[in-house]
Amino acid sequence: MLTTLTVRTGAPTEFIDLTPQVAEVVRTSGVAEGLCHLFVPHTTAAITINENADPTVPADILMVLNKVISEREAYRHREGNSPAHIKASLVGPALTVIITGGKLLLGTWQGIFFCEFDGPRTRKVHVKIREG
C-alpha cells in the first residue's frame, strides 16, 4: 500500500514531527507485522528520527546544521540553494521503521521528523507499508 502525505512547511529550515500522520497510515493499513518505508522525493528536504519529547532537540540539530553548512561558500549551483542540497544529502531521503503489534516500533523518545531545508514549500512524503 502506497500513501503520499502532503507536508506544508512554514520556514526556510524547519523540522516537522510527522509521527502522528505516519502512525495513522500504519493504523489504517491494518498491517500488524511489517515494515513502513518513508521516502522524501525532494532534493532540498529530508527525513530523520530523533527525540520528539523535548522540542529543543530538533531545534538544536537544526541550529547546528545551519551553522556548519555555511551560506557563505563559493557555491557553483546557480539556484543559490546549495546549503539546502547539502543538508538534505547529509540527513538523507529515506527511513524504514518496523511495524509490530500494528504500531511503529519506535523508541520511547523517538519521533519521525520531516526536515525542510529550503522552505516554505508544499512537500510530499511517500509511505509504503509492507506486510511480513
Q: Interface with Zn ion by CB under 5 A: which residues?
A: 79, 81
What is the closest distance, in whole angstroms, from the C-beta atom of residue 36 to Zn ion in the complex? 29
Contact between 15 and 110 (Cβ < 8 Å): no
The CA distance from 10 to 30, in Å, is: 32
For residues 7 and 45, which CB has a smaller minimum distance to Zn ion in the complex?
A: 45
State yes or no: cis peptide before 41, omega within 30 of 0.
Answer: no
For residues 79 and 131, which CB has a smaller minimum distance to Zn ion in the complex?
A: 79
For residue 13, the Cα-to-chain-centroid distance in whole angstroms is 12
What is the closest distance, in whole angstroms, from the C-beta atom of residue 48 to Zn ion in the complex? 20
For residues 73 and 79, which CB has a smaller minimum distance to Zn ion in the complex?
A: 79
Would you call 37 exposed, middle or buried from its count of C-beta atoms within 10 A (0-12, 13-18, 19+)?
Answer: middle
C-alpha cell at 83: 546549503
What is the closest distance, in whole angstroms, from the C-beta atom of residue 6 to Zn ion in the complex? 21
For residues 37 and 85, which CB has a smaller minimum distance to Zn ion in the complex?
A: 85
Position closest to Zn ion via CB: 79
What is the closest distance, in whole angstroms, from the C-beta atom of residue 79 to Zn ion in the complex? 4
Contact between 111 and 49 (Cβ < 8 Å): yes
Local structure of 69: helix, strand or coil: coil
